[in-house]
Amino acid sequence: MPAYATNMRFKFPIVALTLEIITIILFAVFAVYDDGKGHGHDSHSNDTHHEEPPMKLYPMFQDVHVMIFIGFGFLMTFLKRYGFSSVGVNLLLAAFGLQWGLLMQGIWHLDNGKIKVNIFKMINADFSTATVLISFGAVLGKTSPVQLLIMTILEITIFSINEHLVASTLKASDVGASMIIHAYGAYFGLAVARVLYRPGLRDGHDNEGSVYHSDLFAMIGTVFLWMFWPSFNSAIAETPETQLNAVINTYLSLAACVLSAYAISSLVEHKGKLDMVGQLFPLIFTVTLFQEFKTKTNGFTVVFVPLCSIGTHSERTLAGGVAVGTCADMNIEPFGAMVIGFVAGIISTLGFKYLTPILASNLGIQDTCGVHNLHGMPGILGGLAGIVAVALGKKEGGEAAMQAAALASSLGFALVGGAVTGLIMKLPFWGQPPDQNCFDDSIYWEVPEEEDENEESLAHADHSKNKAEA
C-alpha cells in the first residue's frame, strides 16, 4: 500500500532544484549553439535543414510551442477545481521536459561531443514533452508534482530511445508522430494509471466535475491544438513540398474529423439530465467523460454526471490530427486524409462512449482525460494507416514491415516503460495525494477563498454583504 502525503514543502524544492542544477551542469558540458557547420545527424534525416537560414523554422516552432503550453495546458482545465494544476503543472513539466528532451535526443546525435542547439532540435524537444503531457492527462488529478517530475525524466528518456530506434534503425516514417508521440504517450500514461489504480475513486469524486466556465477554458486549449496541428505534423518534414502536403493533409483531416465527431456524438449519446428537464430534447453534441463512471457504478448521483462535456467532446475533433500524423507527408491525396480524419472522429467518439467505461471497470485503468480515445486509438490508427500507405507506395523508399515494427516498438516501450515508471512513482517518498484530495488545486496551490463555484465562500459572502448593509 502506498503512503499518501500532501506536504511537499521540502520534497518538491529539493527534487526540482536538484534536477535543474544537474541539467544546467549537463548543458554546460554538452550544449553549444548550432553554428550551421555541423554534420547533421538529426533524427528524421533532416540534413537539408542545416544549410537553411537558421530562423527558417521559427514560426513553426512557435506554433508547436503554443500547442504545448496553451493547448495541452488549457485542454485539461475542464475540471472545476483543478485548473491551476492543469496549466501550472503543465508549464512545470514542459519547462523541465524540454531541457531534458534536448539532452536525451541530443546525445544520439553528438557533433564533436557537443549537442548543437538549433530551432529544429527545439521543436523536437517540445515534441518530446508532448508525450509527458499526454500521459499527464491519464493521471490528471491523482499524482503529485514530484511524481510527475519523475515520470517526465523516465518517459522522455525512454521516448528518445524508441525515437532513435524508429527513425534511425528501422528508418520508419512518422513525421507527425502518431506512433512515437501519441500512441506512445497514451499507452505509457495508461500503464502508469493502471499501476496507480485507486479503488477509492471507482465511484467517482466530488471534484471530478466541470463547471460552465471551466469547460470554456478547456475550449481555448482545444481550439489552439486544433488550429496549429498542421504545424505539429509538418514542422520536421524533409522538404518544403512534403511540408506543404503535411499541412494540407492535416488541415483537411481535422476538418473532416469535426463533422464525424459531432455527428456520432449526437447519435450515440443518451439524453442524460436533459430528459429530466422535460422541455429540452437536445441534440446532444457531447458525451461526458465521467458519465461513464455512472454507467459503471449505477450509484453515482446525477448531479455530477454531465461533466467535461465540451472539453472531452471537442477533444475528439483533434483525433484527425493524431491519426493523419504518420502519413501526413505521404501522397495519400487530400481525400485520403479526410477519410482518415473522418474515421478517427468516429473511433474517438465511440471510444469515449463504450470503451472508457470498460477500461475503468474491467481493467482498472482510470483515464482522467480519456487519452486513450484522443491519442491512443487514433495513434494506432495513424500507425496502421502509415503501414497501408507505405505498402501502397505512397512514400518513396518506405517499407511496410518497418512501419509495423515501429508501431510495435512504440507500443512495447510505452507499456513496459509506463509500468516500470508507475511502479517507481508508487514509491512512498514521492507523496501521492490521498483519494479525498484528488482533483483539487488547493492541495498544491493557494486558491482564493471567494470563488465562483464555492459553497464555503458563501458564508463569507454573506458576511461581507452584511457589512455592506451595516
Among positions 20-39, residues that touch a second copy (CB under 8 A) are 20, 23-25, 27-28, 31-36
Judged by CB, which is closer to a second copy: 223, or 419?
223
Judged by CB, which is closer to a second copy: 17, or 427?
17
Shortest gap between Cβ of 462 and a second copy (angstroms)? Answer: 6
Shortest gap between Cβ of 261 and a second copy (angstroms)? Answer: 10
The grid cell for 373 is 480515445
Contacts of 428 (CB under 8 A, 6+ apart): 2, 3, 5
The grid cell for 445 is 496551490
Shortest gap between Cβ of 304 and a second copy (angstroms)? Answer: 8
Which one, of 284, 259, 261, lies nearest residue 346 by Cα? 261
Of 60-99, binders to a second copy (CB under 8 A) are 60, 62-63, 65-66, 69-70, 73-74, 77, 80-81, 83-84, 87-88, 91-92, 95-96, 98-99
Of 283-322, binders to a second copy (CB under 8 A) are 283-288, 291, 302-307, 309-310, 313-314, 317
User: Using CA atoms, how far apart are residues 248 and 242, in angstroms rounded to an integer?
Assistant: 10
Given 240, 393, 412, 428, the residue binding a second copy (CB under 8 A): 240
For 398, left (φ over 0), alpha (ψ -120 to 50), or beta? Answer: beta
When asked if residue 436 is in the footprint of a second copy (CB under 8 A), the reply is: yes
Shortest gap between Cβ of 409 and a second copy (angstroms)? Answer: 29
Name the one range near a second copy by CB under 8 A: 177-185, 222-230, 364-372, 401-409. Answer: 222-230
When asked if residue 413 is in the footprint of a second copy (CB under 8 A), the reply is: no
Spell out, one character per residue from 338 to 357, where the chain touches a second copy: x when CB under 8 A holds, - when not.
xx--x---------------
Cell 486558491 sits at which residue? 447
- In this structure, the number of other CB atoms found within 10 A of the CB of residue 20 comes to 13
Cβ–Cβ under 8 Å, residues 46 and 38: no
When asked if residue 447 is in the footprint of a second copy (CB under 8 A), the reply is: yes
When asked if residue 17 is in the footprint of a second copy (CB under 8 A), the reply is: yes
Shortest gap between Cβ of 124 and a second copy (angstroms)? Answer: 13
Given 168, 266, 295, 361, the residue binding a second copy (CB under 8 A): 266
When asked if residue 454 is in the footprint of a second copy (CB under 8 A), the reply is: yes
The grid cell for 363 is 481493467
Judged by CB, which is closer to a second copy: 269, or 407?
269
CA atoms within 13 A on the CB side of 134: 35
Spell out, one character per residue from 366 to 405, where the chain touches a second copy: x when CB under 8 A holds, - when not.
----------------------------------------
When asked if residue 469 is in the footprint of a second copy (CB under 8 A), the reply is: yes
When asked if residue 156 is in the footprint of a second copy (CB under 8 A), the reply is: no
